[in-house]
Structure 1
Amino acid sequence: MYIKRILLIIVIAGLIGGGIFAYTVYNAIFAPNTSFENNEAYLYIPSDADFSEVRELVAPLLENMESFEQVAQRKGYISNIRGGKYAIKKGANNNDIINSLRSQNIPVKVAFNNQETIADLAGRISMQIEPDSLALLEAFTSEEFLKVNGFNKNTQLAMYIPNSYEFFWNTSADEFRERMLKEYNRFWTDARLEKAKALNLTPAEVITLASVVHKETAKVDERPRVAGVYLNRLRRGILLQADPTVIYAIKKHTNNFNAIIKRVLYKDLELDSPYNTYKYAGLPPGPIAMPDITAIDAVLNPEKHDYLYFVANVENFGYHKFAKTLAQHNRNKAQYVQWINAQKIKR
């Protein structure tokens, strides 16, 4: 009888111990383990991170780090860290958290437009995905890549069509560049290529002219008319005489793209730069900024007219007055000069 009691006690103790162990394991795996109030929290895990870095990143979001580590060890996550952006839902348990960090890399929206230089673009992208601006700039300006794909240091910005794209946060600089090349080729449909050919322009030249149109007017409905003026001048062999190209030439010459220039002076027109379309015929060597798609399509679908000149319309700000003759243009220009002098805009 005594032995039976001892055996019974041992069995009961075993059941209790096993129950406690099972409860502990269950609690570690399936009990909620988050400490934040929002519906979701996001982790950005670097591509080369080890588990110590993950611990540091996730610690502020968890109630119990020890149980998280235990589950991470059992599920093999500690030796299989993957970079990316991950979501942790409020009230998630360790099992859910580890599953998310193992396989649920979330895409991010990457958007860019209006960048004036390739360095500006690299800086803009570096704020949205993992690679820093130096890594991106090195990828963007690779001479081998540019040469193989028909670009050069002057036209390299033309490859990046401004829009919003989905990427994984841990996309590398080279992967980003290759994706943008695909998007560029996708943008240039057969229809767009035919329109460029009809204008006797290459895609890069279309984008170069579009960058001038983009800088000349922010009014989307006016861009086809402005594009028509420049195309008329190109066809007739007339200098473009576009003020935005002079402004770009000044910024490039002084290496100061942050300069604000509201007025082009006569002395500026003497600057010896291939971007100065008052001195050099035809298009500048490459884009003077990143034109948006409306400006590109304005060049491909220009308004047909006989205008050769235009100047800011001080009676309808944001728009321009167009002229077919120099005499008419000079009258329009005089009105503009009178207004700008009254504003005391010196530069």
Structure 2
Amino acid sequence: MRKLIVVIIILFLCAGLSIIVLYVPSRAARIYGPAAPSLSLPERVQYSALLLWYDGLLTQPLDLNGAEQTFTIEAGESADLVAIHLRSQGLIRDSESFRSYLIYSGLDTSIQAGEYQLSTAMSALDIAHELQDATPEDVTFVVLPGWRVEEIAESLPTSGLPITYDEFLNAAKTPPQEYDFLVGASSAEGFLYPDAYIFPRTTSSAEEIIAEMVRNFAAHLTLDLRNGFDRQGLTVYQAVTLASMVEREAVQEEEQALIASVYLNRLNIGMKLDADPTVQYAIGYNLLQQTWWTNPLNLLDLEINSVYNTYRYEGLPPTPIANPSLDALRAVAFPTETTYYYFRAKCDESGFHEFSETFDEHLQNGCP
């Protein structure tokens, strides 16, 4: 009789254990999704039971009207530490229940470092899944001084913005016409202001990108700059064209006003500008060098039949050849007053130039 009772007790215990092993994980899976395959059976039962015990701590938001706040995860932070920080920032009710869910679901091993926009209107489950993708909502897109429109277009596909090279180039051919300096222009080249821009990752309009860059240019085109251009006898469009040449020619920023002076002096006497960057622009992409700016140029390059070739044609090229910085624009508006008509690179490879008044002096400055 005593043995029978022991057997019955054992059977009841086994039945109870079977119920726990089968029912508890099944119940948890219906509420929280499947358990991570990496969990052992005892771990699956343990964390399933914990989640059922915690119940509404994970599924109910703290405050449906809660505002967004920035939450940062540093590289190397453990899931435990993330849970503690979420609790201390008031984004979840309980750190232990959150940690248990991360382990149960396997999300504890895939939390990404980065900045997140979270709120108490999100449940703890929502937050756990949000922490799996640190991709920011905004994209920082940088346009460097001296880039031509094709270089800007080339950098778009890897920027995170869903805009193609061709879409950007096509949009640049029809620039915004609400600005006096772009009326009648066939391209936005020269007016895509070099800067760091922040766009929503979902921005899919090339026209919107270009409009923002041109707006930025207009914001920097002060009355002071306009008056400076006017004193040099230049329209805004002409000044930007010249500034784009200065931007490409000057290796050292401090020489921009000197180089602008040389170009202006040449323009004032009807002398050809003989500017290498205009030839580089005319040549276009150099497949061998993998660049839009062929360097060095040879004598055949200088003979290229293009209206942009200022070795062949007097005056400014028909359009800007790149997108100049504010410093280059200011160099054209307020050039150094000189009587220089020539310059050439110094022989020390410093990026600086030797300036001269006459062609004979220019020849004497040649490298041995």
TM-score (norm 2): 0.62
Q: Secondary structure at the match of 2:199?
A: strand
Equivalent position of 2:356 in the other structure: 323
Is 1:167–2:199 an aligned residue pair?
yes
Are 2:280 and 2:292, in contact at CA under 8 Å, matched by a contact in 1? no
Indicate which of 186, 189, 197 corresponds to 1:157.
Answer: 189
Return the offset for 1:215: 1.8
Residues 140 and 100 (structure 1 numbering): CA distance in 2 closer, same or farther, change over 3 Å? farther
**CA-atom RMSD, angstroms?**
4.0
Equivalent residue number for residue 291 of structure 1: 324
* More deviation, 117-126/191-200: 117-126
Match of 2:59 among 4, 18, 28: 28
Q: Give distance in 1, aligned partners of 2:142 and 2:78.
A: 23
Question: Is residue 2:171 matched to residue 1:140?
Answer: yes
Listed as ranges, the matches of 1:194-205 within 5 Å are 194-205=227-238
Q: Post-superposition shift, 1:321?
A: 0.8
Q: Is 2:253 the counterpart of 1:216?
A: no
Q: What SS does structure 1 have at the residue aligned with 2:251?
A: coil
Bigger helix share: 1
Distance 1:62 1:22, change over 3 A: closer
Question: Does 1:311 pair with 2:340?
Answer: no
Verify the 8 A CA contact 2:286 2:292 in the aligned structure 1.
no
Aligned amino acid, residue 271 of structure 1 = I
TM normalised by structure 1 equals 0.65
Please say which of residues 301-310 and 21-30 is displaced more in the overlay.
Answer: 21-30
In the TM superposition, what is the alpha-carbon distance from 1:95 to its structure 2 partner? Answer: 5.3
Partner Cα distance (2:204, 2:102) in 1 = 29
**Cα separation, 1, equivalents of 2:170 and 2:76:** 38
Aligned residue number for residue 118 of structure 1: 149
Q: Distance in 2 between matches of 1:27 and 1:117?
A: 53
Q: 2:283 aligns with which of 235, 244, 250?
A: 250
* Larger gyration radius, structure 1 or structure 2: 2
Cα distance change of structure 1 residues 278 and 180 upon mapping to structure 2, 3 Å threshold: same
Aligned-partner SS, 2:55: helix
Q: How does 1:101-116 map to 2 (within 5 A)?
A: 106-114=137-145, 116=147
How many aligned positions are there?
Answer: 273
Match of 1:278 in 2: 311
The gaps in structure 2 that reach 5 residues or longer are 1-50, 63-72, 80-100, 108-113
Q: Deviations over 1:232-251 (max 9, x none)?
A: 11111111011221222223
* % identical equivalent positions: 26
